[in-house]
Amino acid sequence: MGMNEGSTTGATRGRLLGNRPFVLYSASFGISSFAFWGFFLAVVAEAAYRYGAQSFQLAAMLAVWSAVFLLLVAPAGMITDRWSPKWMILLAQAFSIAAVFPALWVHSMWGLYEASLIDAVGAAMAIPARGSLTALLVPEEDLVRANGALNTVSMVAVIVGPGAAGLLARHGSPAAAYWVIVAILVLGAVPLLFVPDRRPRTRQWASPSRELAEGFRVSWREPELRSLLFLACAAWVTLTVFVALEPLFVKQVLGRGEDGLGLFWSTNGVGSFIGALALIRSTRASGHEVGLIGVALILSGGGFLAFTATSLTWVAVAGNVVIGVGFAWFLSLSQALIQRVAPEDLRGRVTGVMGMLQESSSVICSVAIALLGGLVAVRPSLVVAAGLLTASGFYGLRAERIVRRLPRPAVTPPHPLPFPTSPAGGPLAPPLPGSGLDA
């Protein structure tokens, strides 16, 4: 059994490495992730350290990002299913580049709010497009490992990007960090230009409301996707609390500066790299994603508790590594689950629905923190969030057992007559009515 499993893993790794479009796509995603995490750290750190932002201001900035993402991600998924995931990602990259300049030129919190707004537009476009494109480039049995590979290269960026941005901001200037981010975003777009323009097989257009409603219907009817809805919302509430309060925890409790915040994000990336790398070797994860997501959230909750329960830096570092392992599993497995269960021409919409609902949780949480303002106790809030994340993980374990016993409902297409498709490159894209819109 061990020999067969090892040979299967080696064959899969060979398939992925020999898949030139997937390798180019991975290179683009990895390079762009350096800029994404560097930009996120630069904006949060500048708000906390340069402008003295309090918890309600940091939460408001996150709420701006989440609100824009929430409004646009489902329509972006609809356009992805009817157009080109590749060009959608490239268009999103352009928005990410544009988001840097308000932070660079407007020297106030308002510039950071504007930067968050524009960056959210790009993220809303990229996330459903990536969810669709990955499944068009690799076979179904390789989806868990392919998503593990993508998150492995992106987590290298989490390790290096925030730390590098923090050092640039401290020893150079915030402007230097932002210009480097722009250069990396441009460089990351280059490999994607050489990826084939593969598109989902599509059916006839319906009204926009029916197109979006179909994504919600499939997300709720499929038992595995319905379980993922609850798990993703719990994970994003915790992530929002973590991101909003971590800079204050590092500054007030641990007594570290901007470079310290970058260090903790980088160690989180080390854990995520390890977790994503482990999934590349997985041969039995497909079909058991819900239970494994539960394990991932329990693991992250334990690391979260270790991070917040002490003022010792080395314990906080170790906790961050464990958080990273768990969230890498959560991200890779949830992406693979959507790509395996959702029909080809609905992957963008289902990914958009998931993003929309989890960001709804994030917006509610951010608004609550912003309204409470100084009443929010940093450490107790983080400890409570860690406990809730752990509890949601146990729900995932139970949901896995329930899902195994349920018959799978048939997913009926909204329109019975398929649209003619071209053999290799996917269907011809129908003309878009106007102009369209990753995290």
245-268 pLDDT, tens digit per residue, is 877 777 777 777 666 666 776 777
Average pLDDT over residues 365-392: 78
Average pLDDT over residues 208-221: 77
What's the confidence (pLDDT) of residue 190? 93
Average pLDDT over residues 309-317: 78
Domain of 374, in residue numbers: 18-191+211-405
pLDDT at 438 over 60: no
Q: Looking at the domain assignment, is residue 375 inside a domain? A: yes
Percent of the chain with pLDDT over 70: 78
Q: Looking at the domain assignment, is residue 201 inside a domain? A: no
pLDDT at 129 over 60: yes
pLDDT band with cut points at 50, 70 and 90 for residue 414? very low
Axis-axis angle for helices 143-171, 20-45 (nearest 10): 40
Of the ranges 43-47, 159-163, 320-324, 418-422, which one carries the lowest mean pLDDT score? 418-422
What's the confidence (pLDDT) of residue 257? 64
Q: Looking at the domain assignment, is residue 152 inside a domain? A: yes
Looking at the structure of the chain, the number of domains it has is: 1
Q: Which residue has the higher pLDDT, 288 or 302?
A: 302
Of the ranges 91-105, 139-153, 155-169, 350-364, which one carries the lowest mean pLDDT score? 155-169
Average pLDDT over residues 269-276: 80
pLDDT at 382 over 70: yes
What's the confidence (pLDDT) of residue 48? 73
pLDDT band with cut points at 50, 70 and 90 for residue 87? very high
Q: Looking at the domain assignment, is residue 424 inside a domain? A: no
pLDDT band with cut points at 50, 70 and 90 for residue 411? very low
pLDDT at 408 over 90: no
Q: Looking at the domain assignment, is residue 53 inside a domain? A: yes
Q: Looking at the domain assignment, is residue 178 inside a domain? A: yes
Maximum average pLDDT range among 222-231, 254-263, 364-373: 222-231
What's the confidence (pLDDT) of residue 179? 87
**CATH number (domain holding residue 270):** 1.20.1250.20
Percent of the chain with pLDDT over 90: 8
Type of residue found at 414: P
Q: Looking at the domain assignment, is residue 391 inside a domain? A: yes
Q: Looking at the domain assignment, is residue 12 inside a domain? A: no
Average pLDDT over residues 402-417: 50
Of the ranges 41-50, 93-102, 333-342, which one carries the lowest mean pLDDT score? 41-50
Average pLDDT over residues 116-126: 90
Q: What is the tens place of the pLDDT at every residue in 173-191?
A: 667 778 888 998 999 999 9
